[in-house]
Amino acid sequence: MTRIAVAGSLNYDLIVYVDHLPRPGEAIRAREMRREPGGKGFNQAVAARRLGADVTFTGAVGDDDFGRQYERLLDEQGIGRTGLRRLEAPTGMAVPIVDDRGENVIVVVLGANLALTPAQLDPAALAADALLVQGELHPHTTLRALELASGLKILNAAPADLALSPAVALADVVVVNEVEAADMGGADRMRDLGAGTVVVTLGARGAQVDNTLIPAPRVRALDTTGAGDAFCAALAVALAEGSGLESAIAWANRAGAAACLRRGTSGAMPARSDLEVL
């Protein structure tokens, strides 16, 4: 079985559904609020597990109810948590706001995620066919995880931060959306830093690598919140299984599209059978 290590965030989501995204200074009423475990790290670990990989997780929670819920949830998903640390800082929280079109904005309080230090990483938990990291841990911790990795190194530079530039230099593959690509200085800059490959996701249009556009399946999106996480996990699994880059991106596009068909974040992560339907 393909082994995927994920080093990343655990943010409990309070998802708010509205008619339209609020403008600066505007107060609006929400139609609904949902509570769901999320965080880019957790979402991507769940997706990789549902896609058939053996997954180990590295991250941090607080000594609070949310942290204990995550420990139980990782066990229930069959995700190894030898790399999980319980710290004094509170477990991370996020507030995604989703409109009628499925578009979203997200406010994140990282808490224990930022408190995890490079010295607290367990090298054994990072040993896998591929390591998948994001931008919601401290940049120094993300960098150290990549330094300790023995397999393929994949960085989802989200949220974008120029402090991730040293991590970009170590990554075999960097995944960013259009906004994140611009915030990181563009795909050419990331390649100049040393990134092996830069994949730019383009929402409903698909994803681009170099000058090649790989289209995504057309779906009627219900909620796009977890699409990027599903894409990254599927890309990691496909590459670790030996797929070529363009084939892996096409499969990842299907995972992202499948995630849009359900509401929520971790709960919307697709199984392998969902991708076969698309």
168 close to 161: Cβ distance less than 8 angstroms: no
Tokens of 137: 């841990």
Q: Which amino acid is at 59?
A: G
110 close to 136: Cβ distance less than 8 angstroms: yes
The tokens 């994920």 sit on which residue?
6
**Count of alpha carbons within 13 Å of 132, Cβ hemisphere only?**
34
Whether 100 is catalytic is: no
Set 13, 129, 223, 229: catalytic member: 229
Q: Which residue numbers are catalytic?
A: 229
